[in-house]
Structures are given as C-alpha cells and as structure tokens.
Amino acid sequence: MTERLDAHRTDAPTLSAQYQPGDVEQRRYEQWVAAGYFRASTDSEKPPFTIVIPPPNVTGSLHMGHAFEHTLMDALTRRKRMQGYEALWLPGMDHAGIATQNVVERQLAAEGLSRHDLGRERFVERVWQWKAESGGRILGQMRRLGDSVDWDRERFTMDEGLSRAVQTIFKKLFDDGLIYRAERIINWCPRCLTALSDIEVEHTDDDGELVSIRYSDDVVVATTRAETMLGDTAVAVHPDDERYKHLIGTEVELPLTGRRIPIVGDEHVDPSFGTGMVKVTPAHDPNDFEIGQRHDLPSLTIMDERGVITAHGPFQGLDRFEARPAIVAALREQGRIVAEKRPYVHAVGHCSRCRTTVEPRLSLQWFINTSPLAKAAGDAVRDGRVRIEPADMAKRYFAWVDNMHDWCISRQLWWGHRIPVWYGPDGEVVCVGPDEQPPTGDGWHQDEDVLDTWFSSGLWPFSTLGWPEQTADLAKFYPTSVLVTGYDILFFWVARMMMFGLYAMDGRPPFDVIALHGMVRDQFGKKMSKTFGNVVDPLDWIDRFGADATRFTLARGANPGQDVPVSEEWCQGSRNFCNKLWNATRFALMNGAHCTGPVPAGAQLSTVDRWILSRLASTVAEVNELFEAYEFAKVCDVLYHFAWDDVCDWYVELSKPVLAGGGEQAEVSRRVLGHVLDQLLRLLHPVIPFVTEELWTALTGQDTVLTAAWPTVAGEQADTAAEAEIATLQTVVTEIRRFRSDQGLRPAQRVAARLDGLTGAGIAAHKPLIRSLVRLDEAGDDFQASATLAVAGAVSVALDTRGSIDVAAERARLTKDRAAAEKEAAQARAKLDNPAFLGKAPEPVVAKIRERLATAEADLARITAALEALPS
C-alpha cells in the first residue's frame, strides 16, 4: 500500500435515514438522459453491442410483460456499456394496423361517424392526429422503469425511413417472384373485416355440435358447421375405401338446394373418421379448397365479409350463427339428421385482437412464397450463425420454419403501409419502388389494401438502422447482438425477422442470439387476465415499491424459456432488499468507508477482510458466467445472497468491533468495506439502476456508476483458507445464537460463558469477536455452567444462565413445543407408513410429507437438547 492509512474521513457524504424511490428515480433518469449516457456513437472504436426493442403497439401501455422484458434488455445493455462496449438499445413503436384502426374507428363511432364518412385520406390524417395526441404513452412509462434506450434513435414503423424500407423490400420480393397475388382460402375476421395470417389466429377448445346429415341413403356426412353445406360442391371418400368405391363418379342431391354434386375419391379423406365421407366446401375450408383444386371443383362463396349468408333461399340474410341452427332444424324436418352430438368440443380459431370466431374464406390476396426464405432462416440456426437460448427451444423454431405456409400479407385496412402496386385499365400490374413514379392516367389505380403489420416489423433490426441506405448506423450496429423476446412470438416476429434479415442483408442474420423468456404469471402460475382478476399493473408497483424493486422481482424469476410467477409479497421483499443496501451503505459512510487509494493487500488484511474479498471474487466470476448464459434469475439470486448474507449480515457485523476500535486495522476495514460496496453496487446496477446510482455516487464521489468499469476477477483472488476459517466462525456464532434463543435469552442480554476448543477449530484469534457478536461475557470466579452446547466439532460453549431466564416458564414453553413437534412427526409418519397413501399420492406430495417428517424430527432433537440443557 503506497499511501498512509489515516483516520477515517470526516467529509463523507450523508444519506437520508430511509430510501425514498420517488425522491431519486425521476431526478436520476433526467440526469442520465441530459448527460447523453444512453447515446451510442458510430464514431466509437469500442466494439458494438446492439439490441432493438420489440416495438410495443402505439395503442399500448406498460404491462407486466413489457416491464419484465424491458428489465432484461436494460440489464444486458447497462452491463455491456460498463464492460466497454458501444451499447445501443434502440427504442420505437409499431403502428399496429388493426388495433390502431379499431381505436380510431371507435372514436368516430362515438361521434356518429364511420371511416367511410371521412374517406381514406382524412381517416389516415385522423389516425396520425390520434397518434400525436394519445399514442405512445408507453414511451413515457418506459422512462419510469429506467430503460436506458437511445431516445435520439426512436423509430416508428410508419415513419418516412421505415416506409421507404417497406417499399424497397416489397419491390425486391416482387421482382424476385417471391410475392404473388392469388385466390386462396385465408383466415377472415368478420368483425375487423380483414384477412389474418395463421399466427394472428388463436385456437381454443370450444363447445360446439357435431351433426351427421343424410344426403342420400348411401351418403352420410358429419360437420360442425352445418351452414357451410349451402356451398358444398362435392362429397369426398378415400379412393381405396371398399365401402364407397362404387359411388365414386356418381352424383348426389345436396339437401335444401336441389343441386346435384359429384362424389369424388381423394386420399386426403380419413376412412376411419366418422362415416368416412366428407362434405367438400372449397370456398370455406382450406382442406376442401385443396380437394377442389385437385378435382377441378367450383368454389361457391355463400356468405359475405360479415359472415352473413348470401346464398339464395330461405337462409339468405341470416348471420352464420343464426343460419346454423335454422339449417339443422330444416334438415331435421326432412328427417335427414342422423345424429347430433352436443356439446362437441373442438378447436376453433379466433381473431387474436377481437376474439371473433375466424371464418375461412376464399379471397384474392397478396402472398409471400416463404419456402426459400424459411429454409434460410432454419439453416442460420442449424449452422450456428444464430444461437437460441435456451437451446431446447430450437425445436419449436424448426417446427415452424420447416413447415411454414405461404404468408398472406394483405390486409383490408386503411391504416398501414399501402401495397405499392398499381393496376392499369387493360389489366396491367406494376409494382412501384420508392424511387419510382407510379403510372398515371385514366384507369390506373393503386391497390386498396395495406400490408400486414408484421411485414414492416419484420424489417425492424435493419430498417431502424437506416436500410436500404448504407448508413453508418447500419455498418456499426448490424447485426444486432441479441434479441430478447417471449417464446410466444417466436413465430409471429422472430421467424419473420430472420427471413427478411437474411434476404435483405446478403445472408447476414439479424441477431447473434435469440434469448427467449416465458410469460409473466401470478404467484400460483396462473395466466394474468382481467377475467381472473389477477392482472398486476407495473406502474402501481413502481409507485408503491419503486422501479428497482419491481425490476428485481421480475428479473429474479427470469429463468430462460420458463414462465415467471410474481406476487406483491415478493415485490415487498425486493423493496426490503433495496432498503438493506441503503442501510448498509449509510452505515459504511457514517463509519468512514471510502474508495480512495488502492485496496489493502497481504499482511495488512485480517482474515475477515480476506474472506469478504474472496467471496467477492467468487461472486464476480459467477455473475459474469450467468449473465453470458442469460440466467437472470440466478444472477439475482447470487447477488442477493452475497449482498444480504455475506456483506450486510456478516461482513458489516464482523467489522463493527474493528471499526469501533480505531487504529490502522480500522482504516484497512474502511477501505475494504468501501471497495466491496463499490463492486457490489456495480454488479447490481444493471438490474436495480436507481438505488445503486444514488449509493455509488455517494460512496465514490464520482458522477455515475452507469459508465463505471464492470467488475472482473483480475483484481480479486480466491482465498480458500480464509473462507474455511470464517465458515467455521459463522457456524459457531449461528449455533450459539440459536442456542441462546432456545434458552429464552433476549438478543441483547449478556451472559457469562466459557468457550473451549477454539484453537482446535482454528478460530482462537476470533474469540473476542465471537463474544462481541453473541453477547457473551468472560467467565468470572463465581461462574457456574447451567447450560452447555457442542458446536463445530471441538468447540463447546458453557453458559451461566442463572438468574437470566425463568427456568420453569422456559421448560413449559419447550415442553409445549416438543408436544407440537411430536404430533407433526406422528402425522407425517402415519401417512408414510400407509401403503394406500403411498400408492395413490403423486410423488411431489409424498416428497413434501417426507420433508415435513425430517423437519419435525430435527425440531424434536433441538428442543430435547434445549430441555436437557436447562438447569434443574
């Protein structure tokens, strides 16, 4: 050590008696933004680290899923910034075509208007007005959470640059023959009045009915959608089904219509399902459409875009769900209903935005041929260019990209990127790029549809960096380093970004790692839902417990790929953890802890100092390893126990007698305590940035921990001897404290005691410290051992408790406790001795009973020893 260790500082900064998040968070965040700490520079020579935010909907507000995901992204970004990377976390929002249009249409409806009253141009202007006034609330809420995003680079999927990117890639795909227009069966929402892609349809098991209908004496079919029979153009059987071979090529009359339709043989039909005959409605079922294509069957559309029957006859004008029972009733009158099964549980598709039952519908739409794009996306993971964490999630990814259908990208909306295709008066079709002029003249018009929202958000990792221009941002920050997102949108978004990134960026994938996390659930593992009444507003937790407590609660449950249970009780515990750090740092400052000068080393260090530095080294190494594996929950757990147990509960307590004693050793401990807290606060900063900023700047006198160097193990050394010695000391202290408690001694009550065997245990030097920690006085001439305890091998403790406790009352208390423990043990043992219980109970239940028995038996041993130790 090169400098003299003087008496502790008298100019140390002070902290308030309690931590008040509301006094810190907004002030600190504004300071960070004003200082430009979140801005990333393309001129920097530092290696890049890039995350693009999964863009929240412009209609959205911060919910627990956002808070969770943003906490993880912010933790990664802050750590990399401290590690010396040029860290860019790019923010932005998605225009959310259907959701946003619905919001504005509801506003218009309240005014007695529809979008058609305004017309397309004025309606889009109205949406932009809404976006400027009410959209993007979530961006301000992200500030409250502490997101260290580069606000100067904020993007929106409808801004000028991203719109140019959309036009560019559409034109490229069109010219390469990967975009086409065709009549296909698509998912249609009769409420949103637009096509949906497969991933925008959520399937649930709903109660319905299965009706078997006799078309003729030889033909019986079963259906869950009787109304679609009005559009039947065939009945299909398997060509090898001996029961029906003779019918193939004949015709049958379709009930209620008078039309005659053919019976065809098709290998798609499963002979073992139902009667082995299926009705074929090519315009209203994707499988039937394929059968129709193979057999050149006509496609009859029998309902309109709102799900209203259009087929001529008695059912015309009925809603699809009104027509279904009416048609069944009519068939029943004719004696054609062979069987009815209610309820019949089957999978039904619903619009993911409005929950309306989706209607398969034949429609002229724009599609992307995904086959070559999906193969490239699969290859990038298979050959190791992109890593999925956790690795076992890769099979979900492959299951999707290896079996991807062509993607319907056109939407019948007005809000969104309009399809850049013009149609001429003589059937011409022209795709117009961003630098091209659309054709003009009589009869030319642009396609009315807009692109699927996921089309533009699929470009997000590179369009936000300036593509198609070759910008400095693109050169510096693409590909991005890691995508942090939920496994639930692996198909919605991740696969699309992979396809577009590889296609547009010359085979370079959009990210190096895909880190998948689970869904936030309540403490019982139940999905959060307004219906269940268990939805938690993260802003409420931030108001009550602070942003740090909210973030720590979420991160502490973040095991890769697994769902995340949270509860208010756990958030309260996280707040207590922040308070514990506050109190420990406040104590350190009040006792002169500081970070000036080098950390003492060698013979200057006590065993206690060597121990805490060794524990720090182990913690730094473990935290770094866990961060690289995206094990956020384990990172938090390691830091929690190091901070609470090692630093606050043990090192601070072990240092108090030394600090109170003054002198050279006290100054060494002040410097070590300052160093340990300095490093601990740096380690915790990525997860709990506000309280660590306030404490670290007070401790070090520097401007911000946000740009401080990230801890490494280079400056710390493991000291196994010191760790073993202090572990023995901790065992002795813990056992004596427990024994005192069992004897009914108050924590502050001093008792005469004799300590033997400390030399053999290797902790004789700590004898004064042990006595100080457990309130034991030296044994005087009148000492008389009334209670003894053997701990840590050779160490034994004899206490003189005469006059210190009410022996009779303590005996009565322990006797009562022993009776309760005996009862608990007997109940658990009876269950485990019962073969019927063991044969029926699930293994986790049996394991819990075994654990109860072990705990009860341990309590019995402890209580019995305490009773025996009581003076007679």
Whether pLDDT at 532 is above 70: no
The DSSP secondary structure of 318-384, one letter per residue, reads: -BHHHHHHHHHHHHHHTT-EEEEEEEEEEEEEEETTT-PBPEEEEEEEEEE--HHHHHHHHHHHHTT
Mean pLDDT of 504-531: 85
**Predicted local confidence at residue 800, as pLDDT:** 87
Distance, CA of 385 to chain centre: 24
Mean pLDDT of 345-369: 90
Lowest mean pLDDT across 112-116, 362-366, 741-745: 741-745
CB 719, CB 611: distance < 8 Å: yes
Mean pLDDT of 629-645: 97
Q: In what order do the strands lie in the sheet with 251-253?
A: 251-253, 260-265, 234-237, 277-280
CB 365, CB 407: distance < 8 Å: no
Q: Which residue type, as a one-letter code, is found at position 553?
A: T
Residue 530 counted as an annotated binding residue: yes
Higher pLDDT, 93 or 806: 93
**Tens digits of residue pLDDT in 126-168:** 999 999 998 889 999 999 999 999 999 999 999 999 999 999 9
What percent of the chain is predicted at pLDDT more than 70?
97
pLDDT band at 2 (very low <50, low <70, confident <90, very high): very low
The CA radius of gyration of the chain, in Å to the nearest whole number, is 36
**Three-point CA angle 542, 544, 550, nearest 5°:** 40
Whether pLDDT at 458 is above 80: yes
Task: Report which of 63, 189, 20 is spatially closest to residue 536, judged by C-alpha positions.
Answer: 63
**Predicted local confidence at residue 11, as pLDDT:** 57
**Predicted local confidence at residue 529, as pLDDT:** 63
**Predicted local confidence at residue 866, as pLDDT:** 74
**Tens digits of residue pLDDT in 11-54:** 556 789 999 999 999 999 999 999 999 999 999 999 999 999 99
Lowest mean pLDDT across 79-93, 162-176, 659-673: 659-673
Lookup: tokens for 517: 């996390």
Mean pLDDT of 189-215: 88
**Predicted local confidence at residue 616, as pLDDT:** 96
Q: Which residue type, as a one-letter code, is found at position 236?
A: A
Mean pLDDT of 393-402: 93
Mean pLDDT of 548-563: 92
Write down the pTM of the prediction: 0.84
Q: To which residue do tokens 């030296």 refer? A: 778
Interior/surface letters 528-545, b for 16+ CB within 10 angstroms, e for the rest: beeeeeeebebbebbeeb
pLDDT band at 6 (very low <50, low <70, confident <90, very high): very low
Can you tell me the distance from the alpha carbon of 455 to that of 395, in angstroms, rounded to the nearest whole number?
A: 24
**Tens digits of residue pLDDT in 820-864:** 999 999 999 998 999 888 887 777 788 888 989 998 898 888 788
Lowest mean pLDDT across 254-258, 738-742, 807-811: 807-811
Q: If you average pLDDT over every residue of the chain, what do you get? A: 91
Mean pLDDT of 260-279: 93
Lowest mean pLDDT across 194-203, 320-329, 562-571: 194-203
Whether pLDDT at 4 is above 70: no
What percent of the chain is predicted at pLDDT more than 90?
73
Whether pLDDT at 549 is above 90: yes
**Predicted local confidence at residue 8, as pLDDT:** 44
